[in-house]
Structure 1
Amino acid sequence: MSEPMRTSTRDLDDLRERLSAWLGRRVSRVTRPSANGMSSETLFFTVDGTRCVARLAPTEEAVPIFPSYDLGVQFEVMRLARERAGVLAPKALWFEPSPEPLGSPFFVMEREEGRVPSDVPPYTFEGWLLEAAPADRRLLQDRTVAIAAGLHGAPYTAAELDGLGAAGLRAHVDGQRAYYEWMRGDMRIPLLERAFDWLEAHWPDDPGPNVLTWGDARIGNVMYRDFTPVAVLDWEMAAVGPRELDLAWMIFLHRFFQDLAEVFALPGLPGFMRRDEVCATYRELSGHTPRDMDFHETYAALRHGIVMARVWQRRIHFGEQPMPDDPDDLVLHRALLERMLS
């Protein structure tokens, strides 16, 4: 987990020249972030004194994480979240649907200043959040849960959410199964297929009402100042479905990083993002009592397993690691998911 993963094959100087031509203004030196972000390509630059971030759909040679990238929908969801729910999604500036200017569609948003809990190395290994006082971590936790509560409770029209596809838990799981089939190619991953079977055997009697969900709801996609969110990032997994999709993802992703810390005999943050505390805070803020959390957390582990298997496929493609003998080892949290299923 300490080595950076390759996320792009594009030349930064060439991208700077293309951005300058597209904007008709001089763009500063283009850079990439040093941590976080494995799906869309992210670029930092400045134009006319405004600090900007560009998100580009990945090229095929970069071995994309997802089969498709609708940046136009992401751009619109960010606008809706900001204007309707008061969620601090970055201010969306421009969207370019054509691949001509930079080689793939992209959008540009304003860049905020703050700190993001690191994925590589994990924030449970080292860094500012690990070193923070317990009261400050709890403040960060509660304010992050409040992002989901605010997003879920805001009013949207059906037309505004049409671009996100079919609504509901069944449609969401069917979409993940299609994603798995695309990701695996000619190779089966038995552990992930067992997890799909487990979901069917434990399907909720009433999945609950559908809301706009963030999709990649986790602290690694939030920028903080003084433990307060100032930017809510990465909306490519947004969907219309039960509130618990976001809550379980938020809880499980910390469990994933905590499990990694324990594998390396590190203390990590065992008292952080606990399910009972996250759900209690959400209930206080929204009036909704989270339900079927065993189901949703297992589903989050399955979803993350598909993503991580694709990430490791990318690493194998670029010669960063060999193909394992057992396909289940493509799931980085294999042992954790096996425990959850049993």
Structure 2
Amino acid sequence: ADIVRQARVMASLADTSVAVPPIIWYGDEPEFFGRPYFVGGFVEGFKLGESPLPLAHLKHLARNGIATMAALHNVAWEPRRAAWGEPFALSDEMKRLDYLLDRDTLDPKVVARAPELRERLRSSLPAGARIGCVHGDFQWSNVLFNEERVVAVIDWELSSVGATLLDLGWICFFSDPGSWVTAGGAGPDVLGALMNADEIVDAYAEAAGFPVSIPEVRWFRAFAGYRFGVITCFNLMLHRRGKRPDPLWEDTALSAPRMFEHGLELLG
């Protein structure tokens, strides 16, 4: 996690309608903390899954969250390239996952249909996908609210300049029970009850101010399932080999085959 880069990314959004924590200072000099750091202003807020507010009000806040994502995608990235970097191609995004998938140590039962989905995704790669600022892990746990609005989007570790629909596909994936076979910690985001995938796409299209292609959205939803499924297979392998023990991946892996299957279904 490039801490200083995250600080620069958040600071670059301070003059936009995208709510981020105020960045007071950052640096990589070792004398203060012995490591790179940033200091951010405290933001008081809550995550939707932790709120006792009425369901109707939570739905309203959730739509505000999707509007915030659309606002991010409308931010001009060119003047912010010093913080964000150069655009990252979709083909390169897929190549990064090849490093995780092409291993003979993955559980063949869990990973079985991943190569098939990869080839389908590659053969239908969207041409001319809209480029902009991408959060990279836009999900409800990374959005803080007060009772009226979004007060901060956090965790910019995976931010990049790339295809903006990566974010839309990602949050749809976590709100789509079709990609999961279990509930609770290993199942879909409990906030899928607030907005299902179709409602999220509708809210995004309404707020975006630019055309949103539904067939293209389906590709990005399939890619999100592929991406998380591959990440799951890789982390399951690390857990079982004792390199990074975390039993949660055993539960999540129960749904990994379904993630790949549903991705194929979304691609038709």
CA contact (8 A) 2:24 2:39 kept: yes
How far, CA to CA, are the matches of 2:169 and 2:8 in structure 1? Answer: 24
SS of the aligned residue for 1:82 comes to: coil
1:237-252 to 2 correspondence within 5 Å? 237-252=158-173
Which residue in 2 is equivalent to 1:230?
151
- More relative contact order in 1 or in 2 (CA 8 Å, sep 6+)? 2
CA contact (8 A) 1:309 1:330 kept: no
How far, CA to CA, are the matches of 1:281 and 1:322 in structure 2? Answer: 32
Rate the CA distance shift 1:192–1:97 in 2: closer, same or farther, 3 A: farther
- The TM-score normalised by the length of structure 2 is 0.78
Which residue in 1 is equivalent to 2:141?
220
1:148 pairs with 2:69: yes
1:21-40 to 2 correspondence within 5 Å? none
Which residue in 1 is equivalent to 2:93?
172
How far, CA to CA, are the matches of 2:161 and 2:259 in structure 1? Answer: 25
Give the structure with the larger helix fraction. Answer: 2
Q: How far apart are 1:297 and its partner, in Å?
A: 0.7
Q: How far apart are 1:191 and its partner, in Å?
A: 4.3
- Post-superposition Cα deviations, 1:106-165, rounded to whole Å, max 9, x if no partner, equal 222112112124xxxxx4xxx53xx64332122122101111111111223266257534
Q: How far apart are 1:270 and its partner, in Å?
A: 5.2
1:1-16 to 2 correspondence within 5 Å? none
Which residue in 2 is equivalent to 1:277?
199
1:86 pairs with 2:11: no
Amino acid in the other structure paired with 2:135: W
Which residue in 1 is equivalent to 2:105?
187
- The TM-score normalised by the length of structure 1 is 0.63
Greater Rg by CA? 1
Rate the CA distance shift 1:194–1:162 in 2: closer, same or farther, 3 A: farther
SS of the aligned residue for 1:212 comes to: strand
1:96-135 to 2 correspondence within 5 Å? 96-98=27-29, 101-117=32-48, 123=49, 127-128=50-51, 132-135=53-56
Q: How far apart are 1:176 and its partner, in Å?
A: 3.5
1:295 pairs with 2:219: yes
Computed over aligned residues only, the root mean square deviation of the Cα atoms, in angstroms, reads: 3.5
How far, CA to CA, are the matches of 1:269 and 1:322 in structure 2? Answer: 20
How far, CA to CA, are the matches of 2:150 and 2:248 in structure 1? Answer: 39
How far, CA to CA, are the matches of 1:322 and 1:281 in structure 2? Answer: 32
Which residue in 2 is equivalent to 1:74?
6
CA contact (8 A) 1:309 1:332 kept: no
Amino acid in the other structure paired with 1:294: R
Rate the CA distance shift 1:319–1:235 in 2: closer, same or farther, 3 A: closer
Matched pairs, number: 255
Amino acid in the other structure paired with 2:4: G
Rate the CA distance shift 1:284–1:187 in 2: closer, same or farther, 3 A: same
- What are structure 1's unaligned runs of at least 5 residues? 1-68, 118-122
Rate the CA distance shift 1:89–1:136 in 2: closer, same or farther, 3 A: same
How far, CA to CA, are the matches of 1:322 and 1:142 in structure 2? Answer: 30
Amino acid in the other structure paired with 2:204: Y
Rate the CA distance shift 1:177–1:107 in 2: closer, same or farther, 3 A: farther
How far, CA to CA, are the matches of 1:164 and 1:294 in structure 2? Answer: 27
Amino acid in the other structure paired with 1:248: G
Amino acid in the other structure paired with 1:146: A
Amino acid in the other structure paired with 1:301: G
Identity of aligned residues (%): 22
